[in-house]
């Protein structure tokens, strides 16, 4: 190969490497540079704002971001109390279920407001979490999130929650919902609404942890919404009366 072509190829490889690395650095930098100002949520999930939103760390015990690019673009901000409840819940479930980690999807902008293409996620209290999976051997697996499957949102599961050799682990999903509820309460938060494909709700409630959901099962929406919600669960928190907004 002529020397000039060789040099060009090396520079292109370096540029491609930096391009891939930049979102990882920016996503982490958002967390490093974050302050600890108390968040303030205003309005509703469908029409709201957020003051002092905080970024979710792109990875940590029991969780990983759906996309470093999405995180670097500031699409994983939440109310600080929601962030703290989520991080504790992920760590607790993964400690109890070795090998389990949760893929966190989109949550919201730093200052809330319209969050295309979502219809809610405006006041820092809505989060998307991709469904936990198991492979044919029973090992924990993740929804694969790539640009060509709409960062995971384009993946389809069948009516039983299966896709090839992978199956949704409804028990681990129910464990996470319980843990989120448990970690939210001391923060004067509660889970107000859970959206999952309606055909999955009986499967969720029939799982061992699903049978123990108690009153939390009342927060699960039982009808189809505009998006099928087979690949992710949408969870909406609400601040309890008297809590700091």
**Closest-CB residue for Zn ion?**
234
Write down the least CB distance from residue 200 to Zn ion, Å: 15
The tokens of 64 are what?
């990983």
Shortest distance, position 168 Cβ to Zn ion, whole Å = 17
Please list the alpha-helical segments (H only) found in 46-186: 68-72, 80-96, 170-184
CA–CA dist 153, 231 (Å, integer): 6
* Integer angstrom CA distances of residue 200 from 121, 137, 170, 171, 230: 22, 22, 8, 12, 8
Please identify, using beta-carbon distances, which residue of 134 and 236 lies nearer to Zn ion.
Answer: 236
67 to 151, 154, 183, 193: CA distances (angstroms): 7, 14, 25, 24
123 DSSP β-pair partners: none
Rounded distance, CA 76 to CA 42, Å? 18
**Shortest approach of Zn ion to residue 221 CB, angstroms?**
12
Number of shown-chain residues binding Zn ion (CB under 5 A) = 2
- Interface stretch with Zn ion, choices 8-16, 87-95, 122-130, 217-225 (CB under 5 A): 122-130
Distance CA 49, CA 42 (A): 5
Single out the segment in contact with Zn ion by CB under 5 A; choices: 4-12, 178-186, 217-225, 231-239: 231-239
Q: What is the DSSP letter of 38?
A: P
Chosen residue from 40, 128, 171, 236 binding Zn ion by CB under 5 A = 128
CB 71 within 8 A of CB 55: yes
| Binding piece for Zn ion, criterion CB under 5 A, among 28-36, 168-176, 207-215, 233-241 | 233-241
Q: Which stretch, 72-80, 107-115, 150-158, 230-238, contacts Zn ion (CB under 5 A)? A: 230-238
Closest by CA to 145, choosing from 65, 71, 90, is 65
User: Can residue 171 be called a binding residue for Zn ion (CB under 5 A)?
Assistant: no
Should residue 234 be labelled a site residue for Zn ion when binding is judged by CB under 5 A?
A: yes
d(CA 126, CA 240): 15
Cβ-based nearer residue to Zn ion, 120 or 134: 120
Q: Does 236 help bind Zn ion (rule: CB under 5 A)?
A: no
Least distance to Zn ion, CB of residue 123, Å: 13
Q: Among the candidate windows 23-31, 37-45, 169-177, 227-235, which touches Zn ion by CB under 5 A?
A: 227-235
Residues that bind Zn ion (CB under 5 A): 128, 234
């Amino acid at each position: 190969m002529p020397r000039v072509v060789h040099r060009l190829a090396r520079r292109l490889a370096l540029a491609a490497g930096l391009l891939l690395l930049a979102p990882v650095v920016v996503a982490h930098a958002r967390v490093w540079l974050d302050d600890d100002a108390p968040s303030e949520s205003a309005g509703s999930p469908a029409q709201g704002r957020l003051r002092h939103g905080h970024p979710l760390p792109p990875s940590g015990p029991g969780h990983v971001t759906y996309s470093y690019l999405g995180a670097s673009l500031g699409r994983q901000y939440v109310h600080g109390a929601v962030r703290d409840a989520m991080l504790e819940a992920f760590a607790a479930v993964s400690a109890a279920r070795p090998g389990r980690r949760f893929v966190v999807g989109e949550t919201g902008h730093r200052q809330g407001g319209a969050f295309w293409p979502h219809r809610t996620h405006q006041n820092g209290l809505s989060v998307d979490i991709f469904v936990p999976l198991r492979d044919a051997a029973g090992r924990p697996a993740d929804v694969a999130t790539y640009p060509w499957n709409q960062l995971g949102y384009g993946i389809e599961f069948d009516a039983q929650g299966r896709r090839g050799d992978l199956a949704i682990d409804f028990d681990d999903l129910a464990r996470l919902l319980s843990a989120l509820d448990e970690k939210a309460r001391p923060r004067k938060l509660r889970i107000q609404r859970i959206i999952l494909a309606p055909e999955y709700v009986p499967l969720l409630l029939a799982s061992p942890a699903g049978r123990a959901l108690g009153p939390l099962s009342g927060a699960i929406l039982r009808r189809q919404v505009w998006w099928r919600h087979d690949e992710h669960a949408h969870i909406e928190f609400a601040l309890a009366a008297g809590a700091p907004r």
